[in-house]
Chains A and B, each alone.
Chain A
Amino acid sequence: MGLGPDLVAELEAVVGAEHVRTARGDLEPYSRDATPMFRGAPDAVVWPRTAEEVAAVLRLATRHGVPVVPRGAGSNLSAGTLADRGGIVLVLTRMTSILEVDADELLARVEAGVTTAALAEAAAAKGLLYAPDPGSRTVSTVGGNVATCAGGLRGLKYGVTRNYVLGTTAVLPTGEIIRTGGRLWKDVAGYDLTRLLTGSEGTLGVLTEITVALLPMPATTGTGVAYFPSLADAGRAVTAVIGAGIVPATLEFLDAKCIGAVEDYAHLGLRRDAGALLLFGDDGTDDVVARTLDRIGELSTRHAALEVTLAEDVVRSEALLAARRCALPALSRLGTLTILEDATVPRPRLAEMVGRIDEIAARHDVDIATFGHAGDGNLHPTCVVDRHDEDAAQRAHKAFGDVFAAAIAMDGTITGEHGVGAAKLPYLQDRLGADQVALLRRIKAAFDPAGILNPGKLGS
């Protein structure tokens, strides 16, 4: 298709010729993100450096009616950065300044392309904690995290990205640069546009700068593992933990297939004979951490745990968490096409949902491994099949349709943290209902009258 020489020249004038690429070989690497099966190459890739450059690019795109897809690290699992209608992929990875980390105000201000790990390190250097902790933290950008409202391994105690975004600088598709929120915990002037932009998946505006709240760094962290005969047993233990009023920082689970895959990759000495494991952790003062870990251990044992072990030191703790973070890619070693989903149910129904997933898998004759954030009912059922087995891929697709329906029927949702993107769009109305979807579209139109920003995704 192409953009036309005029537009290309205008883009070059805005960001510099070396930051606009249109050759086939330059576009191909931007034709996919971490989502399996979805492909679509843009007509141009553009790397802006400042909010003003972003604004100028968006004004041009609006004038020419060309789609613009914002992209951070491209680690999303919902085809959110798919340029399936061509146009411009706007890559924010040159915007990597950490503008400030303020220990008195407990906040940091960063450009959108800073990786989550870099932000966390900069905060840690001043004795502060950036709480959101997505598994992809070494790669994913803060802009991408805010745009998808990323969750993570500490979600139970600390919540998700949304709870930490104090303010943003965002560029609207029409070219206005707005500042939402600011540096305050309390601020109720106007509609909460900061929250609206958080989780808007690059469909309402392009985030260029983000102010996040930090916390004092907890004195200690501790981690433990409990092995169970089955995932259902583990699920019951989780219900018991939450029911006892314990809110640890981390409460993650892996089923037997995931344990095997992670162990193959990370060689941690996990028990391969267990049907499931719970990885739990907490942070705070020494005695609080010790008490939480002990009580979770106790409750696990009471709920059929085969074995409970606590990590002896930080290194071991980190190794266990790192292993959990890589569950998805480790699972992918089992086949050539790995489809990971992201259903969420109310916490007490976790075990029930796991049972439903097993039934659904059996009915469609596919293997579904499941891991996830047990503490917040967020499951990642994952199906690994042979890329070339069309039929198996179809069966997996159907099975996941049923999984989403089951989640919704349990008052759950079709995505807890990965977002809707293009991949979940077909299921969105089932979750929200027609009226709400219509409202979403009106909001989208208010921000983006020409409909150029990330079309075909949320809000379309």
Chain B
Amino acid sequence: MGYVAVKGGIDAIENACKAFQFERLKGSSAPLGVDQIREQLFLLVDRVMGEGSLYAPELAALAVRQAAGDTLEAAFLLRAYRTTRPRLGYSVPQPSDRMRVVRRISAAFKDVPGGQVLGSTNDYTLRLLNFDVAEGSRIRKMRLVGELLRGAASAEPLPDTFPRVIDILRRENLIAEAPRPPAADAPFDVTKDSLQFPAPRSAALQTLARGETGGLLLLAYSNMRGYGNIHPTIGELRVGYLPLTVRHPLTGESYTAGEVKVTEAEILAKFTDITDGPRFTVGYGLCFGHNEVKAIAMAILDRSIQSAQGASPSEDGEFVLSHVDGIESMGFCNHWKLPHYVDFQSDLDRLRRAKEIYDAQRVDQQKKT
């Protein structure tokens, strides 16, 4: 009999897992070090930390290696690990003025107090494949580093704090403030409670911060292209390190436990007429690591879902927040690979029945004519 049930069985599953391991390890090249991923593929590591919502560069690099470079899978590994860790507490809120800035730009003003700090960026590199990069010996690397450092002019150290560009406009009463929750309200925790709509802003920002970069970009892009009405200007974009401050569980005294690299974007959007006159509205984005596209897209979406009469998908809070999580959408997309023959059989039964009725009616009609 030709019948083979669609069965995996433990052996088949284990062999399939082994085959993947082998794919990753085969070939004659040296194994890719976790430290190499962390140092040399740092933007990938940052992205995975953001989407995995766990700030752990070492673990993110490990996840990238284990997932053979699949960002969604790597973020998923981090999330699954994250869920096994007990929640010991929440950090103390940090104003981003205290950020140790490594890059800061504004597209709103030519000259901003504190100045534009370009930092490190690939925005202005010509997208030409550099065939020199293909040769990667350690000696060559050291020589290149030497050349890069030799050419660098000694710069003045950056100030400890930068004034926020948006505060200039705020002082002129040109900014409409998003409604703030009462100070007593603890922020919503999306990892512990299920979202309800309309979602509180703290829940929306958390969901966006954990969102998949491509997903956020897609929705934000649809808004800037015309399925929306935000027309953003980047008030300020910052990349830098924020102090991580926690309260001691016994003494209640706060102390700094480390720092976290983040990208922050504040966008100024089309002005609206609120009760006491026209004002700019603001969108806010902040994500782990260096990921400017994500922070900007997040800020646009934060603003767009506050639109009163959302006419496009990107302005519908429920639509945006329900669909930006890469781990969830990737898992569900992949589940279609699982067998569906029971449900399909049920569909077949309905189709055959509907067709039977249709065909019978056709025959009846032909007889009549």
- A interacts with B: no
